[in-house]
Amino acid sequence: MPAGSRPSLDDALGRDLAEVEAAGLWRELREIESAQDPSVVLRGREVLLFCSNNYLGLACHPEVVEAARLATARWGASSVSSRLVSGHMTVHAELEDKIARWKNQEAALVFSTGYQANIGVISSLTGPGDLIVSDELNHASIIDGARLSKAATVVYRHNDLEDLERVLCENRGAGRVLVVTESVFSMDGDLAPLADISKACRLHGAWLMVDEAHGAGVFGKRGAGLVQELGLESQVQVHMGTLGKALGSFGAYVTGSRTLVDLLVNKARSIIYTTALPPSAAAAALAAIQVVEREPQRAAGLLARATSLALALRDAGLEVPNADSQIIPVLLGDAARAVATADKLRARGFYVAAIRPPTVARGTSRLRVSLMATHTSQEINSLRDAIIDCALDDSADTNTAAKNGARA
């Protein structure tokens, strides 16, 4: 194309954005002007937060905050280098040691984010000629890791064991086979049938990787995750989890055999070519794991209240497909309706996320309610009443509301 006929950057991107807006999928940043514990200041107004992954309230826990403060004073504000150069400090080693013991594994490796952990692990373990078998609702970071690996990827229907078996049978000729699933699904809150999945993997000689981003801290005795709760620690070869959700810090880990960790140190580009987790985040995560182990009642109370909220919303006539975890999906169908309902809830003082495509499939836009152990029963009850009111009230022109909400 001759240079003169090329559109300017702003013209071209403006057209891209117009398409996003026309589809009702406009996204924007909303500024939180306070800590997330669990009422927040949003544009000068106090609202109750029901969309944070701070499930156990640990991001603001005094022991966790103090650990971060002390680590900053002792080790500095940054790790300043890759783990492979000078960025691997004693705080990282202590955290990895703790994670391996917590998860009953030989070794652990901390990554700077869960996104980086997933792309690094999947692309290091598999390559051309291999096969990645992935649940259709797996997180974007798993999908991107599979793309980077250049292995063939086959997606099986969500939590559908028969479909997983079919894929494994149809691909007997593949090289390495890596099955990847989340334990607690991020946008649906339902649980993977891990016992059956691990059995199928064993039968077919496939390796199993489980992403516990939403399971760690909440499930399992000592909060080590759903894999531990189900007694499957030795059946899963690659355990991945994040430090930035229930653990209230930042970063992620992969744990398993010493060989797995050695391989990742040598091959995972997302750890070799990136700055190590800051000392404060490592120390905060370590303190958070100690709280989780010491206070199992936090997670137990959270799950009990989440189940009763999910069932109450369902009883009121809303579509709540499961009551399995701290993540409660309230299916509303089209994107405009989800956005309009979230706008109405915000106006009433409840901050709940509207989740739309491409994060979820078309026609399954929803509210994603996430509870925190620090919400009071009274706060949860008032949320319940507000959701029932707002979601079942279809009198408003949802299209106009969505547009105004998006632009307000």
Ligand X SMILES: *Cc1c(COP(=O)(O)O)cnc(C)c1O
The catalytic position among 98, 214, 239, 375 is: 214
CA–CA gap between residue 118 and residue 242 (Å, rounded): 10
3-state secondary structure of 20: helix
Nearer to ligand X, 281 or 386 (CB): 281
Q: State in angstroms the smallest separation of the CB of 270 from ligand X.
A: 11
Stretch that binds ligand X, among 75-83, 110-118, 352-360, 386-394 (CB under 6 A): 110-118
Q: State in angstroms the smallest separation of the CB of 144 from ligand X.
A: 10
Residue 33 Ramachandran class (φ > 0 left, ψ -120 to 50 alpha, else beta): alpha
Nearer to ligand X, 280 or 398 (CB): 280
- Is 211 an annotated catalytic residue? yes
Q: State in angstroms the smallest separation of the CB of 19 from ligand X.
A: 27
Site string for ligand X, 245-284 (x = CB under 6 A): -------x--------------------------------
Q: Taking the chain, what is the end-to-end CA distance rounded to the nearest angstrom?
A: 39
CA–CA gap between residue 305 and residue 378 (Å, rounded): 11
CA–CA gap between residue 258 and residue 236 (Å, rounded): 14
User: Which residue among 36, 186, 365, 370 contacts ligand X (CB under 6 A)?
Assistant: 186
Angle between helices 140-149 and 114-125 (to 10 degrees): 30
Stretch that binds ligand X, among 59-67, 108-116, 188-196, 269-277 (CB under 6 A): 108-116
Exposed (0-12), middle (13-18) or buried (19+): which is 116, by Cβ within 10 Å? buried
Stretch that binds ligand X, among 15-23, 109-117, 351-359, 371-379 (CB under 6 A): 109-117
Structure tokens at 62: 């005094």
Give the residue closest to ligand X by C-beta. Answer: 114
Supply φ then ψ for residue 365, to 5 degrees: -60, 150
Stretch that binds ligand X, among 57-65, 211-219, 271-279, 323-331 (CB under 6 A): 211-219
The catalytic position among 103, 204, 239, 245 is: 245
Q: State in angstroms the smallest separation of the CB of 138 from ligand X.
A: 7
User: Which residue among 182, 229, 334, 379 contacts ligand X (CB under 6 A)?
Assistant: 182
User: Which residue among 24, 38, 87, 114 contacts ligand X (CB under 6 A)?
Assistant: 114
Which letter does DSSP use for residue 32 in this model? Answer: B
Pairing mode of beta strands 45-49, 350-351: parallel
Nearer to ligand X, 213 or 390 (CB): 213
Site for ligand X in 120-149 (CB under 6 A): 139, 141
Beta-carbon contacts of residue 132 (< 8 Å; ≥ 6 apart): 122, 126, 146, 149, 151, 152, 153, 154, 178, 180
Q: State in angstroms the smallest separation of the CB of 67 from ligand X.
A: 19
3-state secondary structure of 190: coil
- Is 53 an annotated catalytic residue? yes
Exposed (0-12), middle (13-18) or buried (19+): which is 387, by Cβ within 10 Å? buried
CA–CA gap between residue 408 and residue 405 (Å, rounded): 5
- Is 214 an annotated catalytic residue? yes
The catalytic position among 96, 190, 211, 343 is: 211
Structure tokens at 363: 């026609």
The catalytic position among 54, 118, 159, 186 is: 186
Instruction: Return the active site residues.
Output: 53, 139, 182, 186, 211, 214, 245
Contacts to ligand X by CB under 6 A: 113-115, 118, 139, 141, 182, 186, 211, 213-214, 242, 244, 252
